[in-house]
Amino acid sequence: MTPNGAVAFTLLVIVGALLARDVAGLLVILAASACFALASRCAIWSALGWSAGIVLPLLLFMSVVWVGIVGRAPHEIAAGLEGSRSAAAIHVAVICLRLFVIAFTVQVAFLHFAGWTPLRFIGALALPRTAKKLLVLTLSLIDTILQAVDRARTALIGAGLVTRRRSWRNLRHGWILVQTVWLTVITIVLGRTRDKWPVEDTLARLEGTLAARAVARLSATDFGWMALALAGAAMGLRSWS
Amino acid sequence: MELIAGPNFSGRSEALMARLRERAPAFFIGPHAEAALSGLSSTVADEIEIYRAPKLAHAPFTPLDFAAYADRKPPTLSGGEQVLLALHCFSLSCYAAIGVDTALEQLDPGNRERALIYLSQDTAQNIAAIIADNRADRVDHVVGMTVREMTSTEGEFACDLAGVAHLPSRAPVTISVQGLSFRYPGGRDIFRDASATLEPGSAYRLTGVNGAGKTTFLKLLAGVLAPDAGRIELDGKPYAPWQSGNRAFGFATQNPDHQWCGATLAEDIARRRSVLTRRDFNVPPDEALAALAACLGVRSMDQHLYELPLVARKRLSWLWPFAGVMPWAMLDEPTLGQDRATRAALAGAIARLTGSGYGVVFITHDDDFASRIAHRPLTIADGSIG
């Protein structure tokens, strides 16, 4: 499978999950994603656990609000019906399962390419050069922020302003950490853009590297998985109607 | 190879950049990570790919097994490893010229020699190398090196290290490390059941190859990292800085930007003071700290720390170790970017510190500097400290 195929498959699943309006339809789409996960031989339990970790807090909160407090589904409220807690529970299940399907599919698609470096993955995407460069620069900024967080923590822990473990001191000085992180990000970015990038023409090199990475836009396997995602989405729609 | 020599603030960095711009595009390795690596890659493998030319223009320079580092994030490499990675990337690229601003000072003796020999093979490798390096004058095996001497005075940021570290004697504090084990997530063992005792009034020099774990050891002592096993004692009492916070070490990091707690010097001092006084540390008054900062070359408390030149930032990073607030001083590569006169004066200041009963742990690859200080060597290798 190509990265383009994985992105297309993921987008189709996401659209299908957004259009499906009941639990049965979402389960069909989830089954299509699970097939992809199994065929990819990726760490399916890790993907399930990660997705559940995202959805569970929302499930708990929505259950308390809609099932426990409101006791009716939104469409029942709109129609002025008395409603029931079971309808509210179904409403919560649909919302949370939809989020679960999306999170799971995105995670599985990334795990499928776990052996690829970010640059290789982005380079293989069928996107304009500028869009690819923007993606790389976005990842670069994220990494820079993470690096700055590490630096700022080193500074503040070394000075005794914060500690490694949770403490009131950390809460009190949290804003200093934020300020230090941003000052550090600015320093790092200025250091690169003032000296290294202009004299090396580093961004031009990046462009060349990304161009060299271009591969086939879509493979036959991609079309197979996209067909499965489309079929899942169609079945999801059918059970809704 | 062209060496741009001269004292600090003589304009070496500017001269180096000007020479590189004449030959642009040219590869550049700055003194710290943000100017050594491209910053565009999330992994070591990608960093190499960005620079790899379709056809080799020079002989590859591969001092480390970079395949073993392929998935690591470049900023997680040690300072020396980042410089070696940058040199490796250059060797695979099609750049004909390279500029290295003081970065070679971070390399251990073996890697430094290999790097200098590689860069000096101008004709054979089709490389034009321009370097600024405070220790290159001691390299007599580099042949064909042309030297461009810069001459000007320090001016605004001149320092007077003879005026620092005149501290009253203090009660000795012994540090004992027992059974220390540590590894970074997904990495190899940095320490395995390592033990060491640090006596006060002594200076300890940590040595080891690039990536051995020297800076990691300092971070463990300062509480920035927590060990997987083992314990640290302060005068025989348990000390867990990763839980309770650092109360033993005035820490000067390798990259000075890893230690500021504010945008200006006044802000940095005020924030540290508020925490230290609450924890019953005896912090000198602002006037004394301002005088110390002036000796280190920064004469205004309103000076924006991130706008200082790198050499001045590095010197100012010694403020807290020399302020005498903590019983121990930690200096990670204190001589980076410093000229010979400053290195000699710094050695004198460290000697005064130990003479007053303070303990000092320092990391340096500069044998000449270390030889000026009475010290005990501590070598980190294969997970142990010996």
- Report CA A126 to chain centroid distance, whole Å: 20
Interface contact B261-A180, CB threshold 8 A: yes
Instruction: Identify the residue with better confidence: B215 or A214.
Output: B215
Instruction: Tell me if B263 and A205 make a contact (CB, 8 A cut-off).
Output: no
Average pLDDT over residues B118-123: 81
pLDDT of the residue at B151:
80
Q: Minimal CA–CA distance to B302: which of B268, B275, B274, B277?
A: B268
Percent above pLDDT 70 for chain B: 96
* Inter-chain touch B25–A143, beta carbons under 8 Å: no
- B380: closest CA among B226, B215, B238, B219? B215
Q: What is the pTM of this model?
A: 0.88
Residue of A120, A192, A201 with shortest CB distance to B39: A192
Tell whether A187 is within 8 A of chain B (Cβ). Answer: yes
Supply B129's token pair.
Answer: 């190398």
Helix, strand or coil, per DSSP, at residue B240: coil
Measured between CB atoms, which of A151, A164, A192 is closest to B258?
A151
Residues in chain B within 8 Å Cβ distance of A154: 219, 224, 253, 258-259
What is the token pair recorded at B338? 């410093």
CB neighbour list of residue B145: distance below 8 Å, 6 or more residues apart: B1, B2, B3, B120, B136, B139
Distance CA B107, CA B115 (A): 9
Q: Does residue B249 belong to the interface with chain A, where contact is any CB pair within 8 Å?
A: yes
Taking the C-alpha atoms of residue B94 and residue B125, their distance in angstroms, rounded to an integer, is 11
Angle, alpha carbons B130-B131-B137 (nearest 5°): 125
- Output the CA torsion B12→B14→B16→B21 (10° steps): -170
Q: Which of the four pLDDT bands, split at 50, 70 and 90, describes residue A47?
A: confident
Model pLDDT for residues A110-157, shown as the tens digit of each residue? 888 888 899 999 998 988 889 999 999 999 999 999 999 999 999 999
pLDDT at B105 over 50: yes
Q: Cα A136–A140–A145 angle (5° rounding)?
A: 150
Average the pLDDT over A208-212 and give the result. Answer: 84
| pLDDT exceeds cutoff 60 at B141 | no
Residues of B in contact with A184 (CB under 8 A): 257
A144: nearest CB among B26, B39, B279: B39
Residue A46's pLDDT is what? 85
Q: Across the interface, do B34 and A180 touch by the CB < 8 Å criterion?
A: no
Q: Does A191 contact B32 at a Cβ distance shorter than 8 Å?
A: yes
Rounded Cα distance, B377 and B229, in Å: 24
Q: Do B50 and A206 touch (CB under 8 A)?
A: yes
Please indicate if any CB of chain A lies within 8 Å of the CB of B243.
yes
User: How many angstroms away from the CA of A55 is the closest CA of chain B?
Assistant: 27
Q: Which residues contact A24 (CB under 8 A, 6 or more apart)?
A: A239
Choose between B386 and A182: higher pLDDT: A182
pLDDT of residue A55: 94
- CA A136 to CA A172: how far, in whole Å? 35
Q: Residue B70: list chain A partners with CB under 8 A.
A: 117
Arithmetic mean of pLDDT, B84-106: 94
Ranges assigned E (strand) in chain B:
2-5, 27-29, 97-101, 128-132, 146-149, 175-183, 189-198, 203-207, 229-234, 237-239, 249-252, 328-332, 359-363, 376-381, 384-385
Give yes or no for a contact between B356 and B386, defined as CB atoms under 8 angstroms apart. no
Pairing relationship of beta strands B128-132 and B2-5 according to DSSP bridges: parallel
Provide the percentage of residues in chain A whose pLDDT is more than 90: 58
Omega before B327 within 30 of 0, i.e. cis: no
Option in A154, A160, A161 nearest B258 (CB): A154
d(CA A215, CA A129) in angstroms, rounded, equals 14
How do residues B212-271 score in pLDDT, each as one tens digit? 999 999 999 999 999 999 999 999 999 999 988 898 999 999 999 889 999 999 999 999
Q: Does A133 touch chain B (CB under 8 A)?
A: no
> Within an 8 Å CB–CB cutoff, is residue A118 touching chain B?
yes
Provide the pLDDT for residue B88: 96
Chain B CB within 8 Å of residue A77 CB: no
Total residue count of chain A as it appears in this document: 241
Residue B33: the pLDDT is 65
What are residue B182's phi and psi, to 5 degrees?
-160, 140
**C-alpha dihedral (B353, B354, B358, B359), degrees to nearest 10:** 120
> Residue B285 burial by CB count (10 A; 0-12/13-18/19+): exposed, middle or buried?
exposed
**How far is Cα A196 from Cα B115, in angstroms, rounded to an integer?**
20
What does the alpha-carbon distance between residue B122 and residue B144 come to, in Å, rounded to a whole number?
9
Query: pLDDT category, B137, cuts 50, 70, 90?
Result: low
Q: Which residue of B has its CA nearest to A142?
A: B42
pLDDT 10s digits, B174-216: 999 999 999 998 888 999 999 999 999 999 999 999 999 999 9
Q: What 3-state class would DSSP assign to B2?
A: strand
Cβ-proximal residues to B195 (8 Å cutoff; 6+ apart), any chain: B176, B177, B178, B179, B180, B385
Region A154-182: what's the mean pLDDT? 91
Q: What are the chain A neighbours of B42 within 8 Å (beta carbons)?
A: 117-119, 139-140, 143
Residue A241 burial (10 A CB sphere; 0-12, 13-18, 19+): exposed
Distance from CA of B3 to the nearest CA of A (A): 19
User: Rounded to whole angstroms, what are the CA distances from A180 to A143, A166, B73, B157, B161?
Assistant: 16, 19, 22, 24, 28
Cβ–Cβ below 8 Å for B257 and A187: yes
Tell me if B358 sits within 8 A of B327, measured CB to CB: yes
Q: How many CB atoms lie within 10 A of CB B145?
A: 19
- pLDDT over threshold 70, residue B83: yes
Task: Tell which of B12, B40, B308 to mutate to test the A interface (max A CBs under 10 Å).
Answer: B40
User: Measured between alpha carbons, how far is A140 from A189 in angstroms, rounded to an integer?
Assistant: 10
Q: What is the pLDDT of residues A66-100, one digit of tens each?
A: 999 998 898 889 988 888 999 999 999 999 999 99
Please enumerate in sequence order all residues whose Cβ is within 8 A of that of B177, keeping only pairs 6 or more positions apart, or say none. B194, B195, B196, B197, B198, B221, B230, B231, B232, B385
* Residue A241, pLDDT score: 47
Is the model's pLDDT at B31 over the cut of 90?
no
Mean pLDDT of chain B, nearest integer: 91
CB-based contact B246 A140, cutoff 8 Å? no
User: How would you list the strands of the sheet with B384-385, edge to edge?
Assistant: B249-252, B328-332, B359-363, B203-207, B376-381, B384-385
- Give B233 to chain A, closest Cα distance, Å: 18
Q: Which residues of A touch B246 (CB under 8 A)?
A: 157-160
Question: How far is residue A108 from each of residues A52, A95, A103, A223, measured CA to CA in Å?
Answer: 13, 20, 9, 18
Of chain B, the percentage scoring pLDDT greater than 90 comes to 76
**Chain A residues with beta carbon closer than 8 angstroms to that of B20:** 199
Pairing of strands B237-239, B229-234: antiparallel
Nearest CA to B321 among A150, A152, A159, A173? A159
* Cβ contact B164:B316 at 8 Å: no
At residue B217, the pLDDT reads 96
Which site among B49, B85, B310 would you substitute to test the A interface, given the most A Cβ atoms closer than 10 Å to its Cβ? B49
Taking only the tens place, the pLDDT of each residue in B265-294 is 999 999 999 999 998 899 999 999 999 999
Mean pLDDT in chain A?
90
Length of chain B, in residues: 386
Distance from CA of A27 to the nearest CA of B (A): 36
- Flag whether pLDDT at A221 surpasses 80: yes
B254/B259 Cα distance (integer angstroms): 9
What does the DSSP assignment read for B299-337? --TT-BGGGS-HHHHHHHTTHHHHHTSSSEEEEESTTTT
Q: Which residues of B118-132 are buried (b: 16+ CB within 10 A; e: fewer)?
A: bbbbeeebebbbbbb
Cβ neighbours of residue A183 under 8 Å, at least 6 residues apart? B260, B263, B306
Cβ neighbours of B382 (radius 10 Å): 12
**Mean pLDDT across B57-79:** 91
Nearest to B271 among A176, A191, A198 (CB): A176
Query: What average pLDDT does range B32-48 have in this prediction?
Result: 88
Q: What is the DSSP string of B80-133?
A: HHHHHHHHHHHHHS--SEEEEESGGGGS-HHHHHHHHHHHH-HHHHT-EEEEE-
Pick the residue from chain B with its C-alpha nearest to A192.
B35
